[in-house]
């Protein structure tokens, strides 16, 4: 997959709703602008573990999700009635 720099909007079109490992990412503050697609999968753990072995050619890497993260879990204190 090491084909060259790709803008993040293009990455979103190529791999919708997937976790993507990017080599040499370009960032603006905390927003990913683009990078070299190293590995992608619907499973975040797979991207982390399998992708780790594919990052030796890059000085920096990041992982990003191409879909919308839904906050379905509530964090807080449960009240007893």
pLDDT (tens digit per residue) in 25-70:
999 998 999 999 999 999 999 999 999 899 999 999 999 999 987 7
76 belongs to a structural domain: no
Domain membership flag for residue 49? yes
User: What is the maximum alpha-carbon separation in the chain?
Assistant: 58
SS3 32: strand
Q: What is the pLDDT of residue 22?
A: 96
pLDDT of residue 32: 93
Domain coverage including residue 35:
5-65
Contact 53, 41 (CB under 8 A): no
Distance between CA atoms of residues 20 and 13, nearest Å:
12
Residue 11 to residues 6, 21, 34, 41: CA-CA distances in angstroms?
7, 11, 8, 12
pTM: 0.80
Q: How many domains does the chain have?
A: 1
């Amino acid at each position: 997959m090491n084909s060259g720099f790709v803008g993040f909007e293009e990455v979103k079109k190529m791999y919708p709703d997937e976790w993507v490992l990017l080599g040499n990412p370009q960032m603006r503050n905390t927003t990913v602008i683009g990078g070299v697609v190293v590995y992608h999968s619907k499973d975040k753990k797979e991207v982390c573990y399998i992708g780790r072995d594919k990052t030796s050619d890059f000085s920096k890497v990041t992982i990003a999700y191409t879909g919308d993260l839904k906050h379905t879990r509530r964090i807080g204190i449960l009240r007893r009635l």
